[in-house]
Chains A and B, each alone.
Chain A
Amino acid sequence: MALIKKLLQSYKVIKVGDWFVILLFCALIIFSIKSLWNLPKGEYLEIYKKNEILATYSLNQKITKKINGIKGVTEIMIDNGRVRFSESPCPKKYCIHQGWINKANQMIVCIPNQISISIIGPKRGYDAINY
């Protein structure tokens, strides 16, 4: 209770201009989140087996692809801009549980079957930066 009372007392200190500054600040926060956290949508899908690119597909289609990995057949579903693993012979199904991905530079990896997919945007980004 005492804390709430103190907070209310500090509320009295805020003047008209302060509200203006606070509102501007909130607008800046919203603007920065919208403009800076807006990652580009992917355009192409690359499918890797071990280290080699097996195939590249456009994301603007609705198809299911079957790929032979080292353990069995993996099924990859492309659905107009997004993609996921729908079938996999691996025991824990982490790749399936990762769900849909749709942004540039996102990827899903299935270690047991040695299949991975990666979305390519307009520009190729970095997966990590070391300095």
Chain B
Amino acid sequence: MTLSTINITDRDHQIAKLSAIAIALSLVEFFFPSPIPGVKPGIANIIILYTIFKFDIRMGIWVSLIRVFVTSIILGSFLSPTFFLSLSGALLSLLSLIIFKNLNRQYFSIISLSLIASLAHIFGQFIIVRIWIIPHNGIFYLLPIFIVSAFIFGLVTAIVTNKLLQLNPKK
């Protein structure tokens, strides 16, 4: 019988810590009432953007997916429509970040990436809503509200993340 050992690296510890913060922020957001139903600021995304900029995109993917799964398990919405909404949003915004991460840093800062990711998040959720949850074209009537909120919260997330990165510069 072979003994299998798992080597826990510093990187794993780092992922665990960042995921814990992201999960905590998601839970805080869950218990705060939102002014418009369905519109949430997504403050956990600050941590994910921070991870991607401070470390690398692979770590950001880990933190984002761990956050989605663990938050849904804690809130009891695992495998429910809410879970798939947040998963599709997270996957599409990660995909957009993978595509656009090589944008020239001289001309594009964290703000562009945050805006692109927040837009991708909205579209990821909308695809699921349109195909599965409310299969009717009437929901496109709500799309402008979500695009405007994506713009506002994308900007806010970027500014906060930028401040965080200034406080903890890359080694």
B75 CB, nearest partner CB in chain A, Å: 21
CB atoms of B143 and A29 under 8 A apart: no
**How many Å from the CB of A15 to the closest CB on chain B?**
5
CA–CA, A125 and B116, complex, Å: 34
For window 102-153 of chain B, which residues contact chain A by CB distance below 8 Å? 103-104, 106-112, 115-116, 119, 133-134, 136, 138, 140-141, 143-144, 147-148, 151
Q: Is the CB–CB distance between B151 and A18 below 8 Å?
A: no
B144 touches A16 (CB 8 A): no
Majority-rule SS of A interface residues: helix
Size class of the B contact interface (CB-based, 8 Å): 20 to 34
Q: From residue 4 to 63 of chain A, which have CB atoms closer than 8 A to chain B?
A: 10, 13-18, 20-22, 25-26, 28-29, 32-33, 36-37
- Give the A interface residue count (CB, 8 A): 22
Q: Is the interface of B mostly helix, strand, loop or mixed?
A: helix
Contact A21 B134, beta carbon cutoff 8 Å: no
Q: How many contacts A-B (CB < 8 Å)? A: 62
In the assembled complex, which residues on chain B have CB atoms less than 8 Å from the CB atom of A16?
A: 107
Q: Are B148 and A17 in contact (CB under 8 A)?
A: no
Complex interface: chain B residues within 8 A of A33 (CB): 144
Report the minimum CB–CB distance from A105 to chain B (whole Å).
11
Alpha-carbon distance between A29 and B133 when the two chains are bound, in angstroms: 24
A120 to chain B, nearest CB (A): 17
Q: How far is the CA of A48 from the CA of B148 in the complex (A)?
A: 39
The answer on a CB contact under 8 Å between B136 and A129 is yes
- The distance in angstroms between the C-alpha atoms of A102 and B79, with both chains bound, is 44
Chain A hits for B116, CB < 8 A: 21
* A37 interface neighbour in B134, B141, B159, B162, Cβ under 8 Å: B141
B139 to A: closest C-beta gap in Å: 8
With a cutoff of 8 Å between Cβ atoms, the chain B residues found around residue A17 in the complex are: 103-104, 107-109, 112
Are B111 and A14 neighbours in the complex by a CB distance under 8 Å?
A: yes
Chain A contact residues, CB within 8 Å of chain B: 10, 13-18, 20-22, 25-26, 28-29, 32-33, 36-37, 125-126, 129, 131
Extra A-B contacts (8), CB below 8 Å, given A14-B109, A29-B148, A129-B134: A18-B108, A18-B109, A21-B115, A22-B115, A25-B119, A28-B147, A29-B147, A131-B134
16 A–B contacts from the bound complex (CB under 8 Å): A10-B162, A10-B163, A15-B106, A15-B107, A15-B109, A17-B104, A21-B111, A21-B112, A21-B115, A21-B116, A22-B111, A25-B115, A29-B144, A37-B144, A125-B138, A129-B136
